[in-house]
Amino acid sequence: MKEPLPDLAPPLLIIVSGPSGVGKDATLKRMQARGAPFHFVVTNTTRPRRPNEVEGVDYHFMSVAEFQTKLAHGDFLEHANVYGNWYGNARSDIKAALAQGRDVIMRIDVQGAATIRQRVDGAVFIFLISTPAELEARLRARKTETEEALLRRLSTAAQEMQERTHFDYCLRNHDNHLDETVDDILAIIRAEKLKTHPRRIRFK
């Protein structure tokens, strides 16, 4: 794996987003498994933990009361309520990693990406897409949703697909091609690092 060139450019904030079921979590897990040298932000959430998810690795799981306390203290750079569950990413975690010169990767929903766009200049926004059939199959495979909730997610996903024009890059994440998606993201990061006028992160 070719690593980015940290000595030639300031650290990047990379946002990986897309609709529910598109494979955001799976993509970042594969990047970590391949030893990608980035700081992966662990999102705080109030949603129930799914099978095989690990506290502090996949998410920081907490109660609604705990989340609301952090929110009241201004701990989150962005937060959103998605399908009845709260999600938020800690401002201090992101800023500390960037200050250390590390590239930071966040996987967030489309709503959260819009918030980051308003609050941070210079971030790289990557949108993942899949076919409707792939999205439905992945959501059904989770076995965590009622039929009504699943159909609502699919309806929302169709709407969120229209938001891809607001992103810098759009990648297809098809079944059994996860490594290709990871390769594409790494190529994007490397290209950004090689720019003669690189991005610089600025919090508004």
pLDDT tens digit string along 93-111?
999 999 999 999 999 999 9
The stretch 104-132 carries a mean pLDDT of: 96
The stretch 68-81 carries a mean pLDDT of: 96
Q: What band does 142 get if pLDDT is binned at 50, 70 and 90?
A: confident
The CATH number of the domain where 175 resides is what? Answer: 3.40.50.300
Query: How many other C-beta atoms are found inside a 10 Å radius of the C-beta of residue 132?
Result: 13
Q: Which residue has the tokens 């998606």?
A: 181
The answer to whether residue 160 sits within a structural domain is yes
The phi, psi pair for 42, rounded to 5°, reads: -95, 115
Compute the half-sphere exposure of residue 55: CA atoms within 13 Å on the CB side of its CA: 4
The stretch 146-157 carries a mean pLDDT of: 91
The answer to whether residue 3 sits within a structural domain is no
Please answer whether residues 22 and 128 qualify as being in contact, where contact means their C-beta atoms are separated by less than 8 angstroms: yes
The answer to whether residue 8 sits within a structural domain is no
The stretch 104-126 carries a mean pLDDT of: 96
| Structural domain for 173, as ranges | 13-203
Instruction: Report which residue type is found at 39.
Output: H
% of the chain at pLDDT higher than 90: 86
Q: What band does 7 get if pLDDT is binned at 50, 70 and 90?
A: low
The answer to whether residue 1 sits within a structural domain is no
Please answer whether residues 201 and 98 qualify as being in contact, where contact means their C-beta atoms are separated by less than 8 angstroms: yes
The answer to whether residue 4 sits within a structural domain is no
* Res. 3: pLDDT tops 60: no
The answer to whether residue 6 sits within a structural domain is no
Average pLDDT score, the chain: 93
The answer to whether residue 2 sits within a structural domain is no
* Res. 2: pLDDT tops 60: no
Please tell me whether the overall predicted TM-score, pTM, comes out greater than 0.75 for this model: yes
Integer Cα distance of 188 and 124 in angstroms = 9
* Res. 52: pLDDT tops 60: yes
Integer Cα distance of 162 and 156 in angstroms = 10
Integer Cα distance of 82 and 38 in angstroms = 26
Q: For position 144, what pLDDT does the model report?
A: 81
The kind and range of the H/E element at 112 are helix 110-119
Integer Cα distance of 159 and 19 in angstroms = 9
Please answer whether residues 101 and 8 qualify as being in contact, where contact means their C-beta atoms are separated by less than 8 angstroms: no
Integer Cα distance of 8 and 41 in angstroms = 23
Q: For position 57, what pLDDT does the model report?
A: 92
Counting the structural domains of the chain, the total is 1
